[in-house]
Structures are given as C-alpha cells and as structure tokens.
Amino acid sequence: MSSAWSTRRESTPENSRLLIERAHEEFVAGNTGDMRLDDIRPLVRESWRRSLASLVGAEDLPPLDLATAQLDEYRRAHPLAGVIDMIRGLLVPGDPDDAGVVVAVGDAAGRLLWVEGDRRVRALTGDMGFVPGANWSEDAVGTAAPGTAIALDRSVQIRGAEHFNRLVQPWSCTAAPVHDPETRRILGVIDVTGGEQVVTPQAQLLVDATARAVEGELLLARLRARESAPTRRAPRKPETARTTLRVLGRDRALLEVAGDGVETVSELGLRHAELLLMLATHRQGVSAEGLGELVYGDAGASVTLRAEMVRLRKALEKSAPHVTLESRPYRLAAPVETDAHQVLSLLDRGAHRVALAAYRGDVMPDSTAPGVEEFRESVRTALREALMAEASVDVLLAFADTAAGADDEELLRLCLSMLPARSPKRAGLVARIEKLQSE
C-alpha cells in the first residue's frame, strides 16, 4: 500500500506544531495550568496528565521488556501470531521496504512484538526505541498511539508534537486495539507510524478496519479449529451440540454436528436442505402456509409439506437428534447456524477479506425455491454492497475473480478507478470490461 500511504497527505494537525510544542514545554516543566493547554485536544491533554502521573521522562527511551530469546518464544505463542500475514497484506502490501510507513503489532501490555515496513523509516524510528520487545505503553513512554489506544480501548491518532516524549515528536501514528472476538478483552494493538499521511481520517478507518478484520479471522480460525479438533471434555447434554448447515456453493447441503467430543457430517437432499435453510433463516417460526410458499411457491401445498416434514424429522433423528422440529408454527427447537449467516456476520464486523474467503459460492445455486432464491440474492447483494462501499482494491479484485463478481461491470470499473495509473492489472480489467460491453 505504498502508493495509498504516499497520497494521503491532505490533512494537517488540528493545532499548529509551535503551539503544541510550547504547551508541552510548559506542561513538562510543571506549569499544568498554562492557558495554552486549553487549545490541546482533550484526548492528548488527559494522556499527558496520565504520563506525568506515571513519572514518565520527556526524553526517556522505552524499556526493552523482552530480550530476543524471550521475544521469539512469546510471540510464537501469542494469539496474533497467526494473523501477521493478514495484517501485512492489509497495511503494507507490495514491497514493505518502500511502504513509507512502519507497521507495529503489540500485546495487551503495549510491548511491541513485530515491527515491519519501510526500511528507512524503521532505521529512524529504531533510534527512539521503536523496536520489537520495547514497551510502548503510556506508563513507559507516555502519550503515543499504541499505549494510548490500549489505555482508552479505542483507536487513536497522535500527531507529531502531541507525543509526550520529545524523541517521538518527529513522527505521527495511528493505532487501534485488537480484541478477543468472544470475550472482548484486549489481545493487542496495531499501529502505523510515519508522517502526516498516517493521521488522516482515511488512515484511521484503515487501521480500524484491519483490527476488525483480524478479530473476524481469529473467530473464523477458532471455529474451524473447534470443528476439526473438538476439545475433549466431559459429556454434554445433546442440546449443547453445535449444528451448522453448509449451503454456500452447494445444492446437496452438509449438516455438521459437533458435540460430545464427536463430529458428524451428513449430506441432505435438495428438498430437505431447502426446508432446513428456511427454518434456520426464520428462527422465530413460520406457518405451514408461509413455509409452503417459501419452499414450493404454493401456500396451499400443506399435504406435500407435512409429508416432507415427517421425512425430514426422521432424517434429523439419525444425524442431529437434538435438532427437533416443532409445529404451529414450524420452527427449530435448537439453533442451526449456516455458513451464509457466518459470512453476513463477518461483513457486519468489517472483516471483508475474511468474509470473501468464507464465501464459497451462491446459496444452493440450483434451488428454485422462492425463499432460497430470495436469501441467495440477499447474501450476494450484502457481500457486493459491503465490499464496494468499504473494501480495499485488493479485496475487490479478489471478488471480481469469483463467479459472483466476474461479470459485474460496475465492480470492474470501480477496481479500475482505484488502481494506480501504472498498475499492470489495469490492462486486464480494461479487456474484461470491453468484452462485457461487446456481448
């Protein structure tokens, strides 16, 4: 993303650098009531107060908390170790040595674990202790994006002279915390450090989106791990089993049940898959007339529906006995997740790249059931709209290579508009657009 970072230079600090520097000098000298402090952003002013209370020196280098041997062992076991490639791809794709910025990933205590990016910038920031193993919490170095983001549990931007430590003031930075997707506790922090281009609104959106994408990937990896290697534990009641209906890119859907230390996978016929998907989608329940309309396109198909529901009940008794079917209205007694709903959940979290990776194809592409057709289109539309509104050009290009995006001229034109003028990918997009226009 070197080109993206290098073009985002339109924003300027909220206050003049000279004003901030003078206010900082007075504050560090003990003049905490100086009127110039009123012109400093409240977020920064309060962080300075916390820094002063922690007895942070204005020119102290950060402590190196983790030596090389400790660092290697610690980060191998850290929850964010598995998503480092994803962070690189989102924030410094291409040649990281020419990115113009440094990307750092730290733990919940503010200790930097990975520091990568532009070679020249890394050399310069390394002089002030911005290196793996160093502690960049507020208690250690004062106001700086990584530590302040952790202290406030939100993304923050710190511009030049707003840093408490004078050694850091030549730089600006944006950082966002990363949370455990289930417990919501802070796992670590993602930081981008460089010049003014890293403290624009667009930069904050990008770092925020990367943190959300990481959280989505952690959740997805955790779900996959549980499904592939269920944790051995004391036997649980059948109703605690987790059931997933996989319908993306499939007509003969798979019903996966994980529970009691055992995982089973059953293939469903088209009609049973349609019925189960509609019940999983309408979790509050649906009348016999409504279910008949959704599956058969005929609200009066009650006799056919009842017979098929009897067969579905028998099939579930063998493959998922805890998933019982109730009537009046028809509904599932136990929740059934679907891989399509998981994609929608990832989109809601802003994890666009992860959502696209989880999108295996359209929902039951050969089904003609009205309810399935409507759900299929809603999932595809949600994916397309979310990606076109917020995703990076790399994600959009990946979407354009799927069956859902291959013939989407508007998508191709958007990709073309987002690519740099000299990108080698432009020629292929132009050819695809011209082919679509000639058909």
Amino acid symbol at 90: L
Provide the pLDDT for residue 145.
Answer: 97
pLDDT at 125 over 50: yes
Measured CA distances, 44 to 14, 78, 150 (Å): 12, 30, 14
d(C-alpha 163, C-alpha 399), whole Å: 40
Mean pLDDT across the chain = 86
Residues 6+ apart with CB under 8 A from 133: 64, 65, 66, 67, 68, 70, 71, 111, 112, 113
| Triad 254, 259, 265: Cα angle to 5° | 20
The model's pLDDT over 134-146, given as tens digits with 9 standing for 90+, comes to 899 999 999 999 9
The model's pLDDT over 180-236, given as tens digits with 9 standing for 90+, comes to 999 999 999 999 999 999 999 999 999 999 999 999 999 998 888 887 765 555 444
DSSP H or E stretch at residue 26:
helix 17-28
Q: Where are the domains of the chain?
A: 2-226, 238-338
Provide the pLDDT for residue 224.
Answer: 83
Instruction: Classify residue 349 as exposed, middle or buried by CB count within 10 Å of its CB (0-12, 13-18, 19+).
Output: middle
Domain 238-338 has CATH 1.10.10.10: yes
The model's pLDDT over 339-349, given as tens digits with 9 standing for 90+, comes to 898 888 767 75
Q: Which two tokens stand for residue 263?
A: 């995982």
**Residues 52/76, Cβ–Cβ less than 8 Å:** no
Mean pLDDT of 130-155: 94
The model's pLDDT over 50-63, given as tens digits with 9 standing for 90+, comes to 999 998 989 887 88
Q: How far is the first Cα of the chain from the last one, in angstroms, to the nearest whole number? A: 35
Provide the pLDDT for residue 406.
Answer: 87
**Residues 197/8, Cβ–Cβ less than 8 Å:** yes
Fold of 2-226: Beta-Lactamase (3.30.450)
Residue reference for tokens 């759900």:
375
User: What values do phi and psi take at 384, rounded to 5?
Assistant: -60, -50
Say what percent of the chain tops pLDDT 90.
48
pLDDT at 13 over 70: no
pTM of the shown model: 0.52
Highest mean pLDDT (candidates 147-151, 362-366, 423-427, 430-434): 147-151
Could you tell me the maximum CA-CA distance found in the chain, to the nearest angstrom? 85
